[in-house]
Structures are given as structure tokens and as C-alpha cells.
Amino acid sequence: MRIVADQKHKSRVANQWRDVGYVALLVFPFILFAFSLTLGLYPISVEDVIRILISPVYPQAAQDVDEVARILVLRVRLPRLLAAVLIGSSMAGTGTAFQGIFKNPLVDSNLLGVTSGAGFGAALALTLDRSTAEVQLFAFAFGLLAVIFAFFGSRLYHTAPIIVLTLMGVLIGSFFGSLTSLLKYLADPLDTLPAITFWLLGGLTGATWDDIPLLAVITIVGGIFLWLVRWQLNILSLGDEEAQTLGINPDRMKLAIMICATLMTAVAVSVGGVIGWIGLVIPHAGRIIVGPDHLRLLPVSLSLGACFLLLIDTISRTMLPAEVPLGVLTGLVGVPLLMVLLRRNRTGW
């Protein structure tokens, strides 16, 4: 009896520590966000950051703070870090959802060609010498257009709709990728071509407060939707037959999840450019930490995605002599990180 009691006590303690770790993972992005506000080529103390953040409500709180620091925090770092949090969360959440519904560890949010379409839209707007807002609008619109083409193209075939949709997404993505290469070939090599290349590498140097409302609304609403269908994601990851047995229409549910993930990805790419590897790497890390149950996997993936892009952006801003595009850094960090995660996760994805 004593042995059984000791085992129950150890199990209870282990569950308590697991819950503490789970809560810590959800809280950590807020801590990292606040700390990142103090870092940069122009360092600002924690006390000054706090005073600056409350100055819009109590202007007298920041009377003694340097005006340069106040402008940096409120107009540059705050919108940029908010964009990093939202984009990182969006990419990680959609990657988790896609890997769940397709039962494939190599799937991410770029599966249906949304990134290639958005890249072409941005390249087209830059070629036409449009404004920054119009570049983002073109990227968002063509990202959605690529998925629409993939969806209606797949409707021409009447067998295995999800598989055909996936294949059509790959084809449409390759098509828009080729169109982007054509625009780069025709672009002015002294002006337009560098702008297109830099945008396609991804970055948040141009993020402003105007980018945050739409990005925040779609990311938050999309994240809530994925959370509400978490148990359907669990069932879909087991297979279509199990889903049908439990009264779920797998094709309809997968389509709804893909529409949600597409909107989240399109708006993220339109603001931050092409930032890869987050939707591929972060879900694997989340499964190792909390397991495959989307009840905890989705929140942890959202949290880890936000932390990952915050760290990458902070490294780009502070530790390198010149700011490196985020898409380059996520690839340099993501590849070895994924190799380590796959090595550690010996029991399968």
C-alpha cells in the first residue's frame, strides 16, 4: 500500500510540475517581449521603458525620459515587436494545424501556395512602383488568389479532394514562383530588383502601427478558431475513417481549417515578407514538450512561435553589425534546430 501511495504522490508531483511548466511557457512571451523593448543599438533601461509605456495614459510619467528613447519605444520597437509576436504565433499555429490534418511532419502553412502568391503580389507592386501599403495589399490579395486557384483547380477532379488540393497548391505555388522569377529578371537591376529581393528575404524593419490592426484581428480570430476545433484536429490526425465514425465530415473540416490558416498566413506574409521554418520547426518542439494533444499543443505552439521570432528579431537588431533579413536567420537557426528536434523525438512525430 505504501508503494502505491508513493507512486501516486510522485505522479501527482510530476503533474503539478508539468502544469507549472505549461503555464510558464504561456507567460514567457510577455516577459521576452518586455525585455526586448530595452534592447537595440540604443539601449533603454527597464524603468524608462515602463514609464514610456504608461506615458500615453499618464504623460507626466515620462517627463524626465529622453525624447529619442520615447520615440524609439512607441513608434519603432513596440509595433515591430508586436508584429513579430503576431507573425510568429500565426506561422506556428497554422503549421501545427496543417501537420495535424495532413498527418505529415514536413507540412507547413506554405502548402497551398499562399507564400508564393504573396511574394509575386509584392514583387508586382514593387515593379509598378507602388507604396508600402499597396505592396502589402498586393501581397495579401495574391496570397489569397493563389489558394483560390488551387481550390477551384482541385474541383475539376472528383477523386481524393484533399490530395488533389494539396497537389494543386504545390503546382500553383511553383507557377507563382516562376512568375516572381520573371519579374526579377525584367526588373531594374539598380532599383527594383534589390527591393524585390530584400522583401522576399523577410523582415520587420518597415513594420508600423498601421500594420497591426488587421494582423492582430486575423491572427487572434484565427487562433481562437483553431483552439475551438482542437478536438477535431486530434481526430483528423488519426485518419479520415475515424473522423467519419465519430460524425465528422473530414473534407469539410479540413477545408474550414485551411481557409482559416490561409488567411492567417496571407496577412502575416504581407506584413513580414517570406519568413520560413517557423511553421515547420515549432510544432515539432511543441510535441516534444507537451505531446500531440492539440488541447495543449496549439497554445504552446503559438507561444513558442512568438518567442522564436522575437528572439530572431532581437538577434538581428542587436548582435550583428548590420541587420540581417529574418528569413535568412530563421533558416540558419531552423535547419539545425529541426535536426536536433528530430534526433530527440525518437518515438515519432
Q: For residue 101, what is the domain's CATH number?
A: 1.10.3470.10
Buried b (16+ CB within 10 A) or exposed e, 44-75: beeebbebbbebeeeeeebeebeeebbebbbe
DSSP 75: I
Give dist(CA 228, CA 342) in Å, integer: 29
Q: How many domains does the chain have?
A: 1
Give the amino acid at 31. I
Place of cell 548590420: 322
* Domain assignment present for 265: yes
Inside any domain, residue 197:
no
| Cβ atoms 82, 212 nearer than 8 A | yes
- The verdict on residue 61 lying in a domain is yes
Measured distance CA(38)–CA(69) in Å, rounded: 10
**Half-sphere exposure of 150 toward its Cβ, with a 13 Å CA cutoff?**
33
- For 87, other C-beta atoms within 10 Å of its C-beta total 31
Q: Which structural domain range is residue 215 located in?
A: 2-108+202-344
Cβ density class 203-212: b for 16+ within 10 Å, e for less? bbeebeeebb
Is residue 141, in this structure, part of any structural domain at all? no
Q: Which pLDDT does position 14 carry in this prediction?
A: 54
The grid coordinates listed for 258 are 485551411
* Tens-digit pLDDT string for the chain (349 aa): 555 555 665 556 556 667 777 888 889 999 999 999 998 888 888 888 888 888 888 877 777 878 888 888 989 999 999 999 999 999 999 999 988 888 877 788 787 888 999 999 999 999 998 888 899 899 999 998 998 888 888 777 766 667 787 888 889 999 999 999 999 998 888 888 998 998 888 889 888 999 999 999 999 999 999 999 999 999 888 877 888 888 888 888 888 998 898 899 999 999 998 898 898 899 988 988 888 888 899 999 999 999 999 999 998 888 777 788 888 899 888 888 888 877 766 545 5
Residue 327 CB neighbour total at 10 angstroms: 20
Which residue type, as a one-letter code, is found at position 234?
Answer: N
CA distance 100 to 189: 42
Question: Which pLDDT score, from 0 to 100, does residue 57 have?
Answer: 82
DSSP type of residue 292: S
Position 150 in a domain? no
- Residue 346: the pLDDT is 55
* pLDDT, position 5: 54
Residue 260 is placed in which grid cell? 482559416
The pLDDT of residue 345: 63
Per-residue pLDDT, 245:
83
Residue 272: inside a domain: yes
pTM, two decimals, is 0.90
pLDDT computed for residue 161 by the predictor: 67
Cβ neighbour number for residue 135 with a 10 Å cutoff: 22
Does residue 90 lie in a domain region? Answer: yes
Backbone angles phi, psi at 333, to 5 degrees: -90, -40
Do residues 278 and 88 lie in contact, with contact meaning Cβ atoms separated by under 8 Å?
Answer: yes
Structural domain includes residue 210: yes
